[in-house]
Structure 1
């Protein structure tokens, strides 16, 4: 059985001199990330590995989660930043099978669309939303559309 923890990055500043990719978390975003990481830990949905977009706001969110969980620093995948739900699914299909629970930290609308693709459930995904999806497979490569069950979903507002 595989479990995917989808995480939308926390609230970010609206602008960066260097462009969208370099936008940092706002003070609200830093608080959101810390709060949600603790919530995930308290509810037992801690992944074994975190894979993040390389964009500053996503990587900072992922790092806060990793630190809270006592994990190694997040791995990054450049394709997450410019992905869509199909690209993200291809990334998931290449996850190492030695890990049964992996978190993917990315951006909207891709995270919302991926959640819909994998579970058939449309949910509002505000910043720092976390969704845990389980799959009845032993290999990541077998995951496809409508094969996941949404087991847990939380936003900063309801955590």
Structure 2
């Protein structure tokens, strides 16, 4: 059994004149990431390994999760392949994951993560919102056999707010 946890970066700010890869999180994005990370860690164990897109908004979201998990930045590996909006690079990346990792958390972007959730999960979602998290399970023993699986759960920031 293998599991992928997809975390879409928190809400980013457009108020700065920077390239897409350098866009920072808004305060809402920071707060939403804390909410989702705390909800996740309350109900789940930690992943075997964590990877992040190099984009500032994705890696910043990842660092918030690391803080909640009590992990250092050494616990994450930044991969250019995760700075992907279509999903093809992310799928290729997943198929090359080390088999000693059974549960992997990825921080990245839409439309890639919504597409992957819909193609490889069994619950349709219109959109994985910013700061959203989805866990997919697969009845495989080798990542190269990555195929349709089941959607275990989705955590949406808006649903955690009182």
TM interval, short-chain normalised? over 0.9
Count of residue pairs the alignment pairs up: 157
Aligned to 2:151: 150
TM norm structure 1: 0.92
Equivalent positions of 1:6-155 (< 5 A) are 6-44=6-44, 46-73=46-73, 74-123=76-125, 124-144=127-147, 147-155=148-156
Over aligned residues, Cα RMSD in angstroms? 1.4
Shift of 1:52: 0.7
Distance of 2:23 and 2:15 partners within structure 1: 6
SS across alignment from 1:63:
helix
Distance of 1:19 and 1:85 partners within structure 2: 21
Q: Kindly provide the CA deviation profile for residues 10-51 of structure 1, in whole angstroms up to 9, marking residues without a partner as x.
A: 111024323111000111111011111001001115312111
SS across alignment from 2:105:
strand
- The answer to whether the 8 Å contact 1:48/1:71 transfers is no
Is 2:5 aligned against 1:5? yes
TM norm structure 2: 0.90
Distance of 2:46 and 2:124 partners within structure 1: 23
Shift of 1:138: 1.3
Distance of 1:120 and 1:67 partners within structure 2: 31
